[in-house]
Structure 1
Amino acid sequence: MIELKNISKTYGMKQALKNINVTIKPGEIFGLIGHNGAGKSTAIKSLVSIIEPSEGEIWVDGEQLSENRLNIKKRIGYVSDSPDMFLRLTAAEYWNLIAVAYDVSEEEKTKQLKKFMELFDMTEHQSEVISSFSHGMRQKTFIIGALLPNPDIWILDEPMTGLDPQASFDLKELMKQHAAEGNIVLFSTHALEIAQQLCNHIAILKKGEILYDGTTQDLIAQNENESLETIYLKLAGRQSKVEENESSALFERGE
């Protein structure tokens, strides 16, 4: 179980996260949903120890992240929101680096790579330099690296970006299977159809604050006869001019 308790993050004068409280249980596919700049990546980078929250605590299965970083990081497979890293390495060199960092045996590495390279059509490209890859091929390279050590927690920041339809489908199937085995999958997205298709549990973020935390089904049930897109835009999108005028009138009347 992952718990974010009163997490806030400030960059200078800007508050990227404001008192976030979230619990993610084993067996869940948890979706962080929001516009660009909503705070999704900041929350994820806090979870994977890239940044330190300004306030609050993160706990994983009863262990505080700040006190047990190495042990917890070895349980996490992470895909960044940008695949433009390690560009001078070949795909195989990058995967070898991950295997060493996570203490993956040669036998296990060979088995895992064979499975994932075949699944994502990367077998013929393993000796090529990452800088020569398209965005989608870079994304597949880092997805394979994240899954290679077989971690029980997957944290994926906009993982479908740039993937072809087959790779996107295959990754979604892997996510479902991983959660069905009692593990945690956390991913960020602004694609509502993906969230509705995959997630047991979602949190909608806007300007660093949680507007909704619960199931997609409950959210739709609370807003009968409305699509998820309409519900989301009502919560996190811009107000229409009519809504802005109504809100201003209510404010002026003190309602």
Structure 2
Amino acid sequence: MRYLLTLLIGAVVGAALVYYLLVGVARIEKPPGEPVRAPEAGGSPPGTAVLTLDEQFFGTLFETIFRDLNAPTFRLASAVGVIPFDPSDAATGVRFINTQGGCESQIVVAPEGSGVRTGVRFQDGQMLAPMAFSGSYNAFGNCVPIRGWAQADITLNFNQADQTVYGQINVQGVNLEGVPPFFGGIVTQFVQNSINQRVNPLIIMRGQQLTLAVPVQASNGTLKAQAKDVRAEIKDGALRLYVTYDFSGARGQ
């Protein structure tokens, strides 16, 4: 039994090494717009609104996802049957043949596991996103169960052109139960690549949520406002977004 387990782990590590050598470090596409900066030291300019999101807000958000929707699932690219540099897959530069049979190479995010609860934490000025997961990996015809949690953070960008605040999930590390730390470092590349293809960039706030259009009947017009700058700070266990607006009026609308 011990020999079989060693063989399976060796097969997974070998497959991961093939992927790592052919693909390299996971490619992280830059989200649209510019990175969201900290608020100005002298205070926010006139016309600035403040939106506060705390950990309880994100906790409710994740509880709703797990209760009412399907658990988030990320398919892991298999290194079996790799054909390098196939132009059909521009995201990775390689194409993977599906020879997995009944064993799907994927991870499923869980509400909690491995002593970690999935959610968003605000700590040391960072927006952290620990994710517990379980899943399986097809290693040369052998279905290997995997379980653990991922360390990740979220960075923000604001694109004034489409009035959208984007988020970028950056996987810092993957901790697997019963697997040497060396393997966890390689699996990080699998997980980050899957998130890049399926999730990044996140849309935190769309244009409809940022722009304003308030009819003023007494003036026979509409007061409009577009976000021209977004700043952010993490303080007292909450994310504060400072949205500065450019106001204008439209007659007869």
* Higher normalized contact order (CA 8 Å, seq sep 6+, divided by chain length): 1
Bigger strand fraction: 2
Higher helix proportion, which one? 1
TM-score (norm 2): 0.23
The structure having more radius of gyration, on CA atoms, is 2
TM-score (norm 1): 0.23
